[in-house]
Structure 1
Amino acid sequence: MTENTNSPVRWGIMATGKIAAAMVSEARLVRSAHVQAVASRDIAKAEAFAATHTIPKAHGSYEALANDPDVDLIYVATPHNSHYDLLKLCLNAGKHVLCEKPLVLNAEQAQNCAYLAEEKNVFLMEALWTRFFPAIHQMQAWIKAGRIGAVRRISADFSFKAHFDPKGRLFDPALAGGALLDLGIYPLSLAIGLLGKPTEIKGEAVMGETGVDEEDKILLRFPGGATASLRCGLRETRPVLATIDGDRGRITLHERFHHPKKITLEPIGGESETLEFPCEANGYHYQIAAVNQAIQQGLTEHPLMPMSETIRVARVMDQLRASWGLKYPDE
């Protein structure tokens, strides 16, 4: 583990897919991040990935990466259904962990991981990268300053037409597929992050031929009467937008709200203001830098994405899936 708080954080990458490649590329933009190793269950894939991305070490098992003394933090980018076992492997080995969303399949698993991270005194975070974008910081600043008054309604949609592959990660129940866990987590995280624990949870799902949810509509109610109307889906492409309405105005997170580069404030009776935040890459580097800083400061959670938020969102998703009769084999 890092002992000097100014030392670079040495990353290990668990998986060799597209998201892992994107994260490695953007880690190059963060001075405090050194990608030290990669692991796959297929050593040839690990070695090819390491060669492509100039990574010093390649491992042919996840256990080898978890026990690598030259790695401080492991980024888990495997399919959803494998997260829980791999998180326990990494945490028990004393590694800090950043895990792709959803962290695990349900709230019980998330709580168990939080307890284990606390016991081992290591950092654990779900990779909700949205929270680290400058546009999101601006949104929060406007809301805190009262620019739109009290938040009364949130609307958000994350939907696209996905190629149907019954054995692919989006549609295979064995891989914990479906729209909710992969896409719905973004609008849910936005709403719950701003309004807290919902008092009422309603949802409708269109189930596909493989038995997973392919189109979801969700309505949440919160203390004080605020509501969130949320959608996600795999059957058609719609604008990936989010609006936050208050009693004094509106904030719009423009396309694509899950990695926003443009935000508009429309106060009632005032002039609108649009700010743009150009980004040289996808924006994963904001999250990477924030995680590294937290670890260097000796934190075991990031205040912008604490485990309590992950667990709260997981409980809402649990309740929605229970109402739809959707349970995964690995639960």
Structure 2
Amino acid sequence: MFARKSLMYLGGAAIGGALGVRLGSHMLGDKADGMRLATFKTAEADSTKSKHGGMQKDAWVPFTLSERTKVTGNTHLYRFKLDDAEDSINLPIASCLLVRARIGEKQEDGNNKFVIRPYTPTSASTTKGYFDLVVKVYEKGVMSKHFGNLKTGDSLEIKGPIVKLPYAANMKKHIGMVAGGTGITPMLQVAEAILSNPEDKTKVSLIFGNVTEKDIILRKELDEYAKKHPDRFEVFYVLDKPGFFWKGGKGYITKEMLQQRMPAPSNENMVFVCGPPPMMNVISGNKAPDKSQGELKGLLKDLGYTSDQVFKF
């Protein structure tokens, strides 16, 4: 199907986030959600404190990088501090943040264009004093390379939250998730919200594809969820290049894996997909050029799911 299977797991979303092909940056990744370069009109930030830790939906606000920690290979966790140590960003589920920097093409006025990318925080929405973004640096990733050059004390302009899919407790009986690389970040956000709410009885099943075992980010958190909530959360790891003793899935995500581990096609259930374009194309089809959901294609369509039962992050 592909000249090199490893390509399926290395591309795509920012952690922000892909499968059967290389997985890469999803909501924290450089091309997370397929966002294009754009110049956004600058809005002056209101000096009053917002309910999202000083963050505003319609204005760019600078946040300072307080910590940078290596996660795996060229993937790092970037911690941005809030002005008030007792404040939190309180993002609705499922939503993301937009990050911008003048690192695009040079304009006639001598300034570089703004590059804007969406990222999904990996810290809990109620975490006080800071929020975390996990980003994998790609050789051709304009924004991810910018992240790679950041040092503590540097700042980035951020705005949000941008709601992608309004989530309400028990809106679905069973949610399936198919993620690759940093495409895991929006999935983690939703899973954390579900599992931390004792009133939400939704079951979550996740298939998470990566190239090698060392590429699996946020594994500790995912394994802890599976251990703590065995009846409500399960995760199945798939590796394109597994080690000799690997006991999980091998190769790329197949129709059989989806059929065995995802909830059956039903209006009571839903499947979320997030990863690089090659993975998205195989699993669900990519989003439309205007960034709307686009036509449902790929393996999920072959298995009988409808467009109302699948959401592409």
Check whether TM > 0.5: no
Shorter-chain-normalised TM-score: which range?
A: under 0.3
Name whichever structure is richer in strand by fraction.
Answer: 2
TM-score, with normalisation over the residues of structure 1?
A: 0.22
Name whichever structure is richer in helix by fraction.
Answer: 1
**Structure index of larger Rg:** 1
Point out which structure has higher relative CO (alpha carbons under 8 A, 6+ apart): 2
